[in-house]
Amino acid sequence: MSRHLDHSDRAKIIERFLAGETYEAICSEVDYTIPGAKAVVQRARNRGIAIPMAQREPFTLVEIEAVLDHWAAGLKECEVGSATGLEPAQVRHIVALARTRGDARAARRMKPFVRPSEDRRRRRAETEALKEQVLNDWDNELTAKQIAHRQRISPEYVQSIVKIARADGDARARRRKAV
């Protein structure tokens, strides 16, 4: 079982890592976990401490394939790193190289853009015609509720059209006196 790391423990981990020791070597002698040691080093990098990536041999084909398979399955880079024993920066590096080589498993993850359906969108001309009809009905003393029912829009939209037209100086959008 691992224990809570205090400041001196974190400093020792970083010092040993900078000396070239592997995470396994650092964690084998003391009661640290490998993910805990990796997190300490990554936190130090995030805070701006210049810690180079671990010196290692080039990635093996098995590592590259494992990373890309996990990435294609939808795992996050930290999850892929935990599953393969690599650091998140190394995972990003492998995925970026695979993208340049055209590997479909390294595709970028973005939410697809969904266009509103055609029937929900109004064209500019239709909107202008609707505004004219609303303002003419308002000028003919119809209520917002009556206009909304007639035009199949909400009463709030009618009020909004009238309010904007009033601000633009349209005479048809005059204020009414309460009866």
- What residue spans of 51-170 are helical by DSSP H? 61-72, 77-84, 88-100, 124-139, 144-151, 155-167
End-to-end CA distance of the chain: 79
Q: What pLDDT score was predicted for residue 39?
A: 77
This prediction's pTM: 0.36
Q: Helix 144-151 crosses helix 155-167 at what angle (to 10 degrees)?
A: 110
CA distance 178 to 165: 20
Question: How does residue 179 score in pLDDT terms, banded at 50, 70 and 90?
Answer: low
| pLDDT, tens digit (0-9, with 9 covering 90-100), for 75-89 | 888 889 888 888 888
| pLDDT, tens digit (0-9, with 9 covering 90-100), for 29-46 | 667 777 777 777 777 777
What b/e string do you get for 63-87 counting C-beta neighbours within 10 Å, with b at 16 or more?
bbebbbebbeeebebeebbbebebb
With a cut of 80, say whether residue 100 has pLDDT above it: yes
Contact 106, 99 (CB under 8 A): yes
Higher pLDDT residue, 156 or 108? 156
Q: Helix 77-84 crosses helix 88-100 at what angle (to 10 degrees)?
A: 110
With a cut of 50, say whether residue 109 has pLDDT above it: yes
With a cut of 50, say whether residue 1 has pLDDT above it: no
Q: What pLDDT score was predicted for residue 106?
A: 87
